[in-house]
Amino acid sequence: MITAIVRYKLPPHIDFEACRAHFHKIAPGFREPKGLLSKHFICAEDGAAGGVYQWETLEDAKAFYTGPWLKGIVERYGMEPQIDFFHVFACTDNRRGEVTFFSPPRP
């Protein structure tokens, strides 16, 4: 599993509430990308925004962050986002009462 953290700075004409409204509008469309397990739409009060994505594979993630998605980010926010990729080794899900391990450690 891969976690991608995507960040960008909101331009002055997009405030916290406008960001929330936009994220609510586009969230249903994120049910479709190949390999996307979940996305958290994030916004800080200082104008930093983006998403925390969970992907099945690094290849799925990298394929998504090109083409139309990247073009849309640049058009809307006026900048390319910073994207950091992380391999996920374990996940504690307290809502489900589960701990899941990925890529078990080597002996």
Place of tokens 């969970």: 54
Report if residue 106 sits inside a domain. Answer: no
Report if residue 14 sits inside a domain. Answer: yes
Report if residue 53 sits inside a domain. Answer: yes
**35, 60 contact by CB (below 8 A):** yes
**7, 74 contact by CB (below 8 A):** no
Q: How confident is the model at residue 12 (pLDDT cuts 50, 70, 90)?
A: very high
Q: How many other C-beta atoms lie within 10 A of the C-beta of residue 4?
A: 22
Domain CATH code at residue 95? 3.30.70.100
| Among 58, 65, 73, CA closest to 3 | 58
Give residue 91's domain range.
2-101
pLDDT digits (tens, 9 = 90+) for 46-88: 999 999 999 999 999 999 999 899 999 999 999 999 999 999 9
Q: Please tell me the total count of domains within the chain.
A: 1
39: DSSP letter: E
Report if residue 107 sits inside a domain. Answer: no
| Among 38, 78, 43, 55, CA closest to 2 | 55
